[in-house]
Structure 1
Amino acid sequence: MTDNGFATVDSADVGVVTALLAGFRSEDWSTVRQLLHPGVVWTLPGTSSVSGRKEGVEAVVDTARAINAATLNSRLRDVMVGHSTVVVTLHNSADQPVELDESLALVFEVRDGLVAAVSTHLSDVEGLDRFYAALA
């Protein structure tokens, strides 16, 4: 901890985040669960089925499963380290059921060696909403 109360990010935190992303991609839900803090919160803008505030390990895993089921083409762009967060930028695209082409940033907070919070920022919230509505 620093004197302002925020934890400082280190290489182990980056490792936790990249391992979590690898677990999402490979659908290794056991590993994903092990990397999530019991009080984890994931927020995602919009009104889609994956949007909103998801609290707890199972809610986060359920959201990740729903995103994976959509068969998006997801490409990692960057992993960036801040003072107290790790930011991952991605590009998602899909042709079906409707076209989706968006950039996103995932802001991760790691506490006690586990991911405690994820905040998703999207370039096209309405596009994501249309995409998941078309899947329903």
Structure 2
Amino acid sequence: MTQQELAETFHKALTSKDWALMRTLMRADVSWTLPGDNRISGTAHGVDEVLARAGLIASYGLNFALEHVLLSRDNMALALHNTARRGELVLDEHLATVCRIEDGLIASIETYLSDLDGMNAFFAEPPE
């Protein structure tokens, strides 16, 4: 699978909540780091924790609009525009999800955000 295909399949798995498909894209020892101080912040270690993190994020009802797939020689990034509404809280953020690839699988993920304060407020409480 090319990096482009890997990125598009990752996005497809996330938006469709197809965790079995997402599992096939990652190494068993994958990690995912998100900034901030909220329910989804920090580093998830191992494929089970990463899938649990993805499920938690998706449970908040986000729209994950893929704007661009960015490729380096060996790795990839997804430029996303995430939006959601939860009561009075509105999430409207641009982000880059940067994936380090090893042997054709995602080895680590790090997410960079445009609105850390908004993310902290939106993900402070459990989804309804």
TM-score between the two structures when normalised by the length of structure 2 = 0.91
What is the CA–CA distance in structure 1 between the aligned matches of 2:21 and 2:85, rounded to whole Å? 30
Greater gyration radius? 1
* Regions of 4+ moved over 3 Å: none
Name the counterpart of 2:123: 132
Unpaired runs of 5+ residues, structure 2, are: none
What is the CA–CA distance in structure 1 between the aligned matches of 2:78 and 2:7, rounded to whole Å? 9
For the pair 1:19 / 2:12, whether they are aligned, the reply is no
The structure carrying a bigger strand percent of its residues is: 2
Unpaired runs of 5+ residues, structure 1, are: 1-10
Counterpart pick for 1:59 among 18, 26, 49 = 49
8 Å CA contact retained: 1:17, 1:115: no
CA offsets, 1:104-126, max 9 Å, x none? 00111111111111110000111
CA offsets, 1:70-99, max 9 Å, x none? 001221110011123211101111222301
What is the CA–CA distance in structure 1 between the aligned matches of 2:118 and 2:17, rounded to whole Å? 25
What is the CA–CA distance in structure 2 between the aligned matches of 1:85 and 1:126, rounded to whole Å? 28
CA offsets, 1:51-85, max 9 Å, x none? 10111000000000001100012211100111232
What is the CA–CA distance in structure 2 between the aligned matches of 1:106 and 1:74, rounded to whole Å? 11
Aligned length: 126
Aligned pairs (5 A) from 1:21-100: 21-97=11-87, 98-100=89-91
Q: Percent identity, aligned pairs only?
A: 34
What root-mean-square deviation, in Å, do the aligned CA atoms of Structure 1 and Structure 2 show?
1.4
